[in-house]
Structure 1
Amino acid sequence: MHRPSRRSLFLLTGVAVAGAAGALVPARAAYTPDDSFIRLRRRWRDVSAGTGYDPGAQPYRDRLAALGRAAARHRDTMAPSPASLWPDQVFPSHVATPRRLRTMAHAYALTGDDSLAAAVAAGIDHYRRHVYAAGADQVGNWWHWQIGMPKALLDAAVLIALDGPRSTALRDAVDHFVPERLLGRYDGNSTGANRVDLCVVMLLRAMLGSDHGKADLAASALAPVFRFVGEGDGFYRDGSFIQHTYVPYQGSYGVSLLSGLATLFAALRGTPWQVADRFVFDMVERSFAPFVRDGFVMDLVRGRAISRRPYGDHDKGRELAASILLLGDAAPAAQRARWQAMVKGWAVRNTYRPMLEHAEPAFHARLSAIMKDDAVPAAPEPVGHRLLPMSARAVHRRPGWCAALSMASHRVGHYEHGNRENPRGWHTGSGMLYWWADGHGDQYSDAFWATADPYRLPGTTVSTLRLPDGAGAAWGDTRTPWRWVGGATDGVYAVTGQHLSGLESTMEAFKSWFFLDDAVVCLGAGITARDGVAVETIVDNRRTGAALTVEPGWAHIEGHGGYVVPEGLRTLRESRAGGGVTRDYVTLWLDHGVDPRAAGYAYLLLPGASRERTRARAADPGVRVLANTARLQAVHVPALGLTAAAFWNAGTAGDLTASAPCAVLVRDGALTVADPRRDLDELTVTWRGERHTFGPLAGREGASITVPLA
């Protein structure tokens, strides 16, 4: 690629860009002569500031111009005082001030403009003296002091090659707030994504002082991240990723973890601290990809982050894609090829927040190259079912549509709130059934969480008892007492169930879902409560103004899908405001009455179905409900030769008998079983007189077992 001369490069509002594709301006010689650290700092600058594109070509020219304007503005408005570094950011300014300093440092790395480096050096020292000082008290959220602030300040310091007393003082401050002992134990705030971030901070600290011991620690302390856990934070064998002990978090903390690891793999490659463990490579497809559809990360694994901003799911999808492509540089060729095809498919199908329109320059260059490369196919959406019992999550994909289920259990909270975020996510674990048909990739993206009725989330069964903001313990400890949450899947179809307790209510219910080719069969039984208010099951709460048709036994939303509901369906069309916007909703629900005793329901969800097809399915559902009680829920689907059951107790459904609580699916000459409670020493399942005994199942983490039938 052509490398423009320094004189030929353009001016970015007072900041002249130098360098070209794959090359940054070398930092000033200010370090101890140590080849290992010289190479490491060079690689860090390449990864942190971004390379691999021509800064004189569009769209990089405009994006770098915007960076240059921001950096020049920060430089020119800096006005150090005892109370602030910028007048509009009064100390402690945990986020904005360090972020501005890092922005200026990134611009310096691309330009070599010494005025920016001088301003960053002065700004870091001023902030360090007044806020981030060795010996200062840690006030407020620990994260700012141990990860957020040191990561930004050290990144800026490394990029400008901060030296002398200012460098020493910053290192002392970081050592005060981030002592090496934080990486000595894998617990508390030093797990999962937080552990990776702490390792990044430790590596930056090592780079600033050419400290081999801290670099060794930064690399070796990653080891606990690269192994499966059986409880608490981390990755599980079924693909679950938990943070904050009780919250499935691939879509927020998990994205941060993968981004940090991708950066570390890239920066440390070819150095004495190169990361050799390949554990995370398997997790890309096992843990993260199942929760991405058309380039966005599903909200059921984003914790309290769902409340932050519209289209946050698409933003996280872009960040995840960037991390996967960067990590691919260190992956075996076969995995790298699959990842490139997967990300290309996401980008091709993401029409609501196109990846290339919002990509940072380095990611844009990587993705553009793949998009233009005919040798890299755009992988289609996969088809099949993924059940992750350890995080009470399931994803079902069929041609043209996708559904995802969010449940709560004795391990997984109803929802997470904290730091004043997501205070009304109360019922997201009460069996929320997300679904997307073609053309509706923004269904939960476009201000859904700001405007939707939090008591009427699709798929849930809830007591209408009014709850205060932030009901239940913070940080996800809003679990139920029940262990039967999970199900059985043969990888194509599934039965999934949840023994549900309402959040801070007396409501109890047994809910099950049967995931088929063109439908989800939804059953509820044993619905009881003593709250003095009504209990409702929300068939759907669709963010749309599309036409609604309601006929005896069925309903249909134009352009979305249909519902076969035998009786009792209630509907509402309304406009709801929140977050400064208004959105239209169509709500369909079943009213179980005040303080119900053993109420139930049965209905079919038909994603993407036309009105005519919905009417035909109402006349001939194609599904026979074998049982729908608090002891057993089961269905038979003749066209698929499928029988499936959630045995809440031992029992019999048609030709199927189980000796203990379990989930069972029979299809195509095979029997699939699972122990959602994870406590059975032995289980006997009989199908048409053929007995199969399994055990012990307690240690299998609720995983499905499939055996052939005679």
Structure 2
Amino acid sequence: MTTPWSRRGFLTVCSGTAVALGLGTRAFAAPDEFATLRARWRTLILGDGFSPTAEPFKSRLADLGTTASQYRATMAPAAGSLWPGLVYADPDPDTDQESFGYSANMNTSYTRLSTLAQAYCQPGTGLTGDAGLRDAIVTGLDHLHDDVYNASQARYGNWYNWQIGAPQALLDLCVLMYDALSATRIAGYLAAVDHFVPDSAVGSYTGTSTGANRVDLCRVLALRGVVGASAAKVALARDALSLVFPYVTSGDGLYADGSFIQHTTVPYTGSYGSVMLGGLGLLFALLAGSSWEVTDPNRQIVFDAVEHTWAPFLYNGLVMDGVAGRAISRGLTASDPKQIQQDDHLRGHPILASIVLLGQGASAAENARWRALVKGWMQRDYYSPPLADPVLGLPHLARLKRVQDDGSVTAVAEPTGHRLFPSMERATHRRPGWAAALSMADRRITYYETGNGENLRGWHTGSGMLYWWGGTFANGQYSDAFWPTVDPCRLPGTTVSRKALADAAGGDWGASKPDVNWVGGATDGQRAAVGQYLKGLQSTLVAKKSWFFLDDTVVCLGAGITCADGTAVETTVDNRNLGPAGGAPFTVDGTVQPASYPWSATLTGAKWAHIGGHGGYVFPSGATVRALRDARDGSWSTINKSGSTTVLNRKYLTMYVDHGTDPVNASYAYLLLPGATAAATRARAADPDWLTVLANTDSRQGVLVRSLGFTGVNFWFGGTVGTLTASDPCSVMISESEDGTAVIAVSDPMRMRTSLTLTWRRAVAAVTSAPGTLASAATGSTLTLSFGDLTGTAGAAQRVTVRLG
């Protein structure tokens, strides 16, 4: 019979009196401050302030107990493993790729023990304070220590498992089971941690000790110090964090423009960035008020990054896949058939909770703003409500539940506006009811990241992939098994050669980057002109691609599309995931197309198209577009070697422009109208005066939208487009306002201009504000702006405000 545990009884077990557990006394007593920190860490990793008899916690705790019971029942200590199927003894440690799996099994073994310890410490699991479970945990810890993770073992496989994964779980176990472990045992465990994670692991800010990885290493060192009562270790961890805070200008870390890079070339706000944010929140909270409190004034950069770096990529509870790197390929795994499929929403929810935790150490104003943002994201995540998230940890769940229940917090709406991130070649655009994001690549930013057998077919995700989501619709577009079932050569917005590529083509860890410089754009914070000089991965394909982000539309232009691969080249207008059922009506020029699968058609002279429940598309001069309804099979194992082999099927509606085999100077033009009705799409197509395409060539691309007062031009070379003349390559956008002012945003995407002159043949009375890079300005019937050295602007837009004549 299970003993009912009161909250006080639960705390007694987990804060640990040796008498209560019948374990005798410890060989030494830790100083009070370390005991305080151990207790605080328990609270941080177990959660607090929730009722174990109320939902969603009651069910989650019961599930934890069920899982722990299964792990306990199947634990079978043997040479080289603790659980059958999780063999960590590597028969051939010289074979790195195979060794990765063995070291990962060691990591997983410690994680399972951590699950057992949580079930032992948490109330309501059915195993709370169970002596048999306690003994099983200690047996498992001893076995792993004696068999593999000890001070005499040489490292093999993935460094991460030895320096971050296993020691983090081990040290959590030491805290949770502190009173069940003898001093001798703890000393042995800490000696193993010291062996694999010496002080030199944070000796310099290089290699695997940067960004999120360094925060993880600091967590290991801090907890090693707390468990072992070593003030020096805790101080080392605190001080080593300081190199994470300052903005960087290359490599891993936070950038002044809001970018976050890991692995040198990979935009990683939504994966490694999430780890860093969560780790910093935990460490700030652990050390707050202690002798080792983090007081470095540069930690304000991290607080600023909540709204500057993370918030732009959070939308209604999800974190955008364009900044999740190879994590997009992590769905169902082969080793755990009961695992919940990962997706953009499940990656987003921990970030929301980490923001809440970080807010406890921020200013009152910051904390209030962040809680309001989080509450809004939670309320609008109808697709995957955070409090029903099946994989969100109990501490995170408790933090989010408190925000939801806090009547003093008023949810705020999604912001509107445009953000460019030149340091990682990403852009986000937000309008009422929808959001979009763009992923590009250049000589600094990789096409995509593969590694550890993950994301094997992400080849074209950096080739101008244009993501978009609706506020109350289509939020499962990339969540519902999109990555294992989509045609990887028909990603929305991309221009791609159909040349066959090998899995992991280009090399691991973001090794492959296009040899191009002109990638970037200009924005006034609301609208934008963005461009990408595209070179295909392991292909002869070249193209010039431009996107003009406006109030209800994204204008998409392509030119100079040339290839000699001997294969077809396609530009994918869109590729909508319609789920297992399909069924969205598809209308072209007023005619509803067949809803059967499979179905395909060549739409000659198409003016507009509409996908019910999604949005509209306009082809300004008419276009020949291929349309396809396709029921596609796929499995996670096709894109991730650790993925499940279970076959999934999803239905897609795809529109693409077929440029033919080996095209020369091919082009395209279309408008994307997210969320538009069929009537609104038809009306836009019927209005020839709404959009003027000023240029769409290999040299220049530009548009004019008179009703918005918008002009946008990407000068691939200097020259004249409409009323604008540029002396050199640049990106320009102009927004004229009804109050008689205009903002001119100019950027140097190539980061090479030591001078630049822009002429606008428009009457201008005065320049009212300008950046320091503006050397001179001549007003009158024509405006001439002369910029000085732009090489130090990192591709950021230089905004000049003028009063029109």
Tell me the TM-score normalized by structure 1: 0.96
Structure 2, unaligned stretches of length 5 or more? 19-25, 90-104, 123-127, 332-340, 590-605, 636-646, 737-741, 762-781
Compute the displacement of 1:26 (Å). 1.3
Task: For 2:257 and 2:13, locate their aligned partners in 1 and report how far apart those are by CA, in whole Å.
Answer: 42
Q: Where does residue 82 of structure 1 map in the other structure?
A: 79
Q: Percent identity, please.
A: 52
**Any conservation in 2 of the 1:415–1:476 contact (CA below 8 Å)?**
yes
Residue from 577, 598, 620 that aligns with 2:687: 620
Residue 214 of structure 1 pairs with residue 208 of structure 2: no
1:197-256 alpha-carbon deviations (Å, 9 max, x no partner): 000111111122111111111111001110111111101110000001111001111111
Which range moved further: 183-192 or 276-285?
276-285
Residue from 30, 36, 41 that aligns with 1:39: 36
Residue 445 of structure 1 pairs with residue 479 of structure 2: yes
SS at match of 2:664: coil
Matching residue's letter, 1:612: A
Task: For 1:679 and 1:297, locate their aligned partners in 2 and report how far apart those are by CA, in whole Å.
Answer: 33
Residue from 101, 113, 121 that aligns with 1:101: 113
Task: For 1:179 and 1:21, locate their aligned partners in 2 and report how far apart those are by CA, in whole Å.
Answer: 35
Q: Give runs of aligned pairs for residues 539-688 of structure 1, distance below 5 A.
A: 539-544=573-578, 545=582, 546-551=584-589, 552-565=606-619, 566-579=622-635, 580-621=647-688, 622-668=690-736, 669-688=742-761
Residue 288 of structure 1 pairs with residue 310 of structure 2: yes
Q: Where does residue 397 of structure 1 map in the other structure?
A: 430
CA separation of 1:24/1:515 partners in 2, compared to 1, >3 Å: closer, same or farther?
A: farther
Task: For 2:173 and 2:10, locate their aligned partners in 1 and report how far apart those are by CA, in whole Å.
Answer: 21
Residue 189 of structure 1 pairs with residue 256 of structure 2: no
CA separation of 1:455/1:63 partners in 2, compared to 1, >3 Å: closer, same or farther?
A: same
Q: Where does residue 172 of structure 1 map in the other structure?
A: 191
Compute the displacement of 1:365 (Å). 3.0
Q: Where does residue 367 of structure 1 map in the other structure?
A: 400
Task: For 1:575 and 1:456, locate their aligned partners in 2 and report how far apart those are by CA, in whole Å.
Answer: 14
Matching residue's letter, 1:684: T
Residue from 447, 468, 491 that aligns with 1:435: 468
**Any conservation in 2 of the 1:14–1:68 contact (CA below 8 Å)?**
no
Residue from 22, 25, 30 that aligns with 2:14: 25
Q: Give runs of aligned pairs for residues 263-412 of structure 1, distance below 5 A.
A: 263-276=282-295, 277-309=299-331, 310-358=341-389, 359-412=392-445
SS at match of 2:423: helix
Q: Give runs of aligned pairs for residues 222-233 of structure 1, distance below 5 A.
A: 222-233=241-252
Q: Where does residue 5 of structure 1 map in the other structure?
A: none
SS at match of 1:95: helix
CA separation of 1:77/1:575 partners in 2, compared to 1, >3 Å: closer, same or farther?
A: closer
Task: For 1:512 and 1:682, locate their aligned partners in 2 and report how far apart those are by CA, in whole Å.
Answer: 24
1:134-191 alpha-carbon deviations (Å, 9 max, x no partner): 1212111111111111111111012111332211111111111111101010010011
Task: For 1:20 and 1:185, locate their aligned partners in 2 and report how far apart those are by CA, in whole Å.
Answer: 45
SS at match of 2:8: coil
Which range moved further: 386-395 or 363-372?
363-372
Task: For 1:357 and 1:692, locate their aligned partners in 2 and report how far apart those are by CA, in whole Å.
Answer: 55
Residue from 152, 155, 162 that aligns with 1:135: 152
Tell me the TM-score normalized by structure 2: 0.84
CA separation of 1:73/1:462 partners in 2, compared to 1, >3 Å: closer, same or farther?
A: closer
Q: Give runs of aligned pairs for residues 415-430 of structure 1, distance below 5 A.
A: 415-430=448-463
Task: For 1:523 and 1:66, locate their aligned partners in 2 and report how far apart those are by CA, in whole Å.
Answer: 51
Task: For 1:60 and 1:452, locate their aligned partners in 2 and report how far apart those are by CA, in whole Å.
Answer: 36
Q: Give runs of aligned pairs for residues 448-527 of structure 1, distance below 5 A.
A: 448-527=482-561
Q: Where does residue 3 of structure 1 map in the other structure?
A: none
Task: For 2:503 and 2:197, locate their aligned partners in 1 and report how far apart those are by CA, in whole Å.
Answer: 34
Task: For 1:147 and 1:369, locate their aligned partners in 2 and report how far apart those are by CA, in whole Å.
Answer: 30
Residue from 532, 535, 555 that aligns with 2:566: 532
1:451-499 alpha-carbon deviations (Å, 9 max, x no partner): 1000100100011101111110111122111111110000000000000
1:656-702 alpha-carbon deviations (Å, 9 max, x no partner): 11111111111121211111111211111111121111221111111
1:266-295 alpha-carbon deviations (Å, 9 max, x no partner): 111121111123221111111011001100
Task: For 2:533 and 2:585, locate their aligned partners in 1 and report how far apart those are by CA, in whole Å.
Answer: 35
Residue from 194, 198, 202 that aligns with 2:217: 198
Q: Where does residue 96 of structure 2 map in the other structure?
A: none
Compute the displacement of 1:14 (Å). 7.8
Matching residue's letter, 2:617: Y
SS at match of 1:258: helix
Task: For 1:706 and 1:593, locate their aligned partners in 2 and report how far apart those are by CA, in whole Å.
Answer: 41
Task: For 1:578 and 1:19, locate their aligned partners in 2 and report how far apart those are by CA, in whole Å.
Answer: 50
CA separation of 1:146/1:311 partners in 2, compared to 1, >3 Å: closer, same or farther?
A: closer
**Any conservation in 1 of the 2:211–2:262 contact (CA below 8 Å)?**
yes
**Any conservation in 2 of the 1:53–1:361 contact (CA below 8 Å)?**
no
CA separation of 1:33/1:373 partners in 2, compared to 1, >3 Å: closer, same or farther?
A: closer
Task: For 2:684 and 2:654, locate their aligned partners in 1 and report how far apart those are by CA, in whole Å.
Answer: 21
**Any conservation in 1 of the 2:709–2:735 contact (CA below 8 Å)?**
yes
1:6-56 alpha-carbon deviations (Å, 9 max, x no partner): xxxxx7x68957538998731246453312211111111110111111223
1:553-598 alpha-carbon deviations (Å, 9 max, x no partner): 1111112111112211111111001122111111111111111111
**Any conservation in 1 of the 2:247–2:255 contact (CA below 8 Å)?**
yes
**Any conservation in 1 of the 2:56–2:387 contact (CA below 8 Å)?**
no
Q: Where does residue 92 of structure 2 map in the other structure?
A: none
Task: For 1:356 and 1:275, locate their aligned partners in 2 and report how far apart those are by CA, in whole Å.
Answer: 31
1:279-327 alpha-carbon deviations (Å, 9 max, x no partner): 2111111101100110000000000110111452111111101111111
Task: For 1:699 and 1:285, locate their aligned partners in 2 and report how far apart those are by CA, in whole Å.
Answer: 24
Task: For 1:178 and 1:38, locate their aligned partners in 2 and report how far apart those are by CA, in whole Å.
Answer: 23
Q: Where does residue 692 of structure 1 map in the other structure?
A: 785
Matching residue's letter, 2:254: F
Residue 117 of structure 1 pairs with residue 171 of structure 2: no
Task: For 1:643 and 1:67, locate their aligned partners in 2 and report how far apart those are by CA, in whole Å.
Answer: 57
